[in-house]
Amino acid sequence: MSQVQRMSRLMVKTLRDDPADAETISHKLLVRAGYVRRNAAGVWTWLPLGKKVLDNVSAVVREEMDAIGAQEVLLPALLPREPYEASGRWEEYGELLFRLKDRKGADYLLGPTHEEIFTQTVKDQCVSYKDLPVMLYQIQTKYRDEARPRSGVLRGREFQMKDSYSFDITDEGLAESYALHRAAYQRIFTRLGLDHRIVSAVSGAMGGSASEEFLAPAAAGEDTFVDCPACGYAANTEAVTFPADRAEPADASSVGPMEELDTPDTPTIESLARQLDVPASATLKNLLVKVDGEIVAVGVPGDREVDLGKLGEHLAPAVVELVTAEDFAGRPDLVRGYVGPQGLAKVRYIADPRVAPGTAWVTGANKPDTHARDVVCGRDFEVDDYLDVVVVEEGDPCPSCGAGLRLGRAIEIGHIFQLGRKYADTFQLDVLGPQGKPVRVTMGSYGIGVSRAVAALAEQTADAKGLCWPAEVAPADVHVVAAGKAAQIELALDAAERLRAAGLRVLVDDRAGVSPGVKFTDAELIGVPRILIVGRRAAEGVVELKDRRSGESEELPLTDAVAKLTA
C-alpha cells in the first residue's frame, strides 16, 4: 500500500506563469504544475508527480497487454547498425535516426522502433510452428531526432513507447493478433479516460484495415481528421474518399452558348470571381500536373483545393509531379493561368465529381487575359476520369451516410499495423511447419505513445485552473489540504492516514507558512480529482469535499467524507 505523500516533503515547485516557449496546454501545465522539466529540445525529466502519472499509464498498458497474452521483454535502446542496415532503415530513416560510434569506431544507433531486433529475437528463440503465435512487448525509451520537437512531451526526441510485435504462421493468425491488439487498445484508452477515434491510416485503395491509427481529438494535435456526428465514421483527412460515381448530372438545356470574356488582372480565383460577381464555386480551376512525365489537367471547383496526396494514391504507381515553366515551352495549347478544359483536346482531363455532366462553369479560355462563361460539361468539354481529389472540408458529405462531416485536429496516440513478411524476409525468419517444411513467419507491429498519452490526457482534460486528471492516471486519489494552523495540519494528516488505510492514494498539503489561497491554487493546478479541505470548521470535525472537475463542494463531517471517498 502506498504511503501518504506530504507536500512538505515532495519535490514540487509550482509556477504561476507559463514557460515562455510553451504553446500547448499540456506543455504549459505539466511544467507549471511541476510534473516535468526540460533538459534540451525534446528531452525531458519526469519529476515525482509526473513519474507517478507516467507509471499509472504504463500500468494500464501493461495489464491490458498481459491480458491478451503478450509477454513483456526489455530490449536494449543502444543497437548495432547491422540489422538496420539489412532492413534498409539505417539509410531510410535519414536525419530522424540518432547514430553514434563506440570507442572502436563501430556504428550504433539509438532505437527509434524495434522491428529488426524483435525479428532476430524470435528467429533465435522460436524454431517450430508450435512456438507460435507469440506476441512480445516492451515499454521502453525511444529516440528520434524529430525535426520539430515542440509541444513538450507530446513530441519528444527521447520518449516512452509501448511497442509490441506479433508473430504468426498464417494470414488468419496475423489478423487475429491484430484484432486482439485493436481490442486491447480500445480498453487501454477507455480506461485511461482518453477520448479517441480509430481511423484507417491509409486510404481504402491501399488496403483498409491493414493499418489503423488511434487519434485523441485535441486542438494541439498535428493530425487532421474528420468524423461524422450521425454515423460515427472517422478517418484521416487524406484517407477520406468519396465514390467517384457521385457525379450527379445537371440539366444544361437552358444554358446559353459558351461566351468569351475579357478579364485582365484576374490572376487568382478570388479576383476573377470578384470581377465577374460570381461565387468562387461557380468557377472551374484547372491544375496541370505531370503523371509519369505526361501532362494531365485536374479540374475542381474554384473554391476547393486539390489534395496532391490523394491524387498520387489514385494514380499510383504512376508518379505525380507539379508542372514547371519548361513544361509550357512548345505547348501553345497550354496558356498558363488561363487553362480551360474546352481547349484541351490532347490532354487527359481528370475532374472532381462536382464537375458533373450538365454543370456550367466560368473557366480559362486558353488565351491570355481571357476567361469563358457557360462552359458546360459534356457539351463543351469531356471528363476522362472522375476521381475524388479535393481536400476534404467541414460539412462535406460523409462517405458512409451522407451527413455533414466535422473536421478536427487530433494527437496520434497509437498505431497498429499488419506488417506481413517484410522483416521476416529480410532476416529469413522461418519456423518448422506442421508438414516438416520451413514456413515464413508473418508479423504485426503495434505502438502506443506512453509519454505522449500523458500529454494527450492533459490536453483533453485540463481547464482554466489547471490539470484535471481522470481517476485512473491521477498522481493521487485525494488531495487533502490543511487550510491553516498547526491544529488543522494535525487533523489533515490524521484524515490522510485514515484515507490511506482505506486503500486510497493520498497527497496532503501539510506545508506550514503557506497561505490557504496558495494551497488551493496549487491543488487545482496539480489536478487530483478530489480535494478534501480541512479548514475553518475542522475543530467541529467538519471538512469540505470538492470535486476538481465540476468544482462542486459540500461541507460534511470528516467521517462521512472518508466514507464517501472510500465508497
Q: Which is nearer to ligand ATP, 129 or 165 (CB)?
A: 165
Classify 213 as helix, strand or coil.
strand
Binder to ligand ATP among 340, 447, 475, 527 (CB under 6 A)? 447
What single-letter amino acid sits at 6? R
User: What Å distances lie between residue 130 and 175, 429, 430, CA to CA?
Assistant: 18, 15, 12
User: What Å distances lie between residue 192 and 31, 53, 180, 188, 461, CA to CA?
Assistant: 21, 11, 18, 6, 11
Is the sign of the CA dihedral 517, 523, 527, 533 positive or negative?
Answer: negative
Distance from C-alpha of 468 to C-alpha of 221, rounded to nearest angstrom: 19
Q: Which is nearer to ligand ATP, 450 or 481 (CB)?
A: 450
DSSP one-letter code for 154: G
Q: What minimum distance in Å lies between the beta carbon of 447 and ligand ATP?
A: 3
User: What Å distances lie between residue 98 and 79, 85, 150, 154, CA to CA?
Assistant: 11, 14, 18, 19
Q: What minimum distance in Å lies between the beta carbon of 563 and ligand ATP?
A: 40
Q: What minimum distance in Å lies between the beta carbon of 458 and ligand ATP?
A: 13
Per-position x/- string for 292-331, each x denoting binding to ligand ATP as judged by CB under 6 A, each - no binding: ----------------------------------------
Q: Are 236 and 225 in contact (CB under 8 A)?
A: yes
**Which residue's Cβ lies closest to ligand ATP?**
449
Is 144 a binding residue for ligand ATP by CB under 6 A? The answer is yes
CA atoms within 13 A on the CB side of 564: 19
Stretch that binds ligand ATP, among 166-174, 176-184, 298-306, 449-457 (CB under 6 A): 449-457
Q: Which of residues 155-214 bind ligand ATP (CB under 6 A)?
A: 155-156, 159, 161
What single-letter amino acid sits at 349? Y
* Torsion, Cα of 330, 332, 336, 340 (10° steps): -140
Stretch that binds ligand ATP, among 272-280, 369-377, 398-406, 408-416 (CB under 6 A): 408-416
Is 413 a binding residue for ligand ATP by CB under 6 A? The answer is yes
Stretch that binds ligand ATP, among 153-161, 385-393, 466-474, 517-525 (CB under 6 A): 153-161
Euclidean distance between the first and final Cα of the chain, in Å?
A: 18
Distance of CA 480 to the CA centre of its chain: 36
Is 449 a binding residue for ligand ATP by CB under 6 A? The answer is yes
User: Binding-site residue total for ligand ATP (CB under 6 A)?
Assistant: 15
Stretch that binds ligand ATP, among 16-24, 166-174, 402-410, 411-419 (CB under 6 A): 411-419
Is 415 a binding residue for ligand ATP by CB under 6 A? The answer is yes
Binder to ligand ATP among 116, 307, 352, 412 (CB under 6 A)? 412
Classify 171 as helix, strand or coil.
helix
Binder to ligand ATP among 6, 181, 191, 452 (CB under 6 A)? 452
Q: What minimum distance in Å lies between the beta carbon of 215 and ligand ATP?
A: 9
Distance from C-alpha of 36 to C-alpha of 47, rounded to nearest angstrom: 5
Is 113 a binding residue for ligand ATP by CB under 6 A? The answer is yes
Is 217 a binding residue for ligand ATP by CB under 6 A? The answer is no
Residues lying near ligand ATP in the complex (CB under 6 A) are found at 113, 144, 146, 155-156, 159, 161, 412-415, 447, 449, 451-452
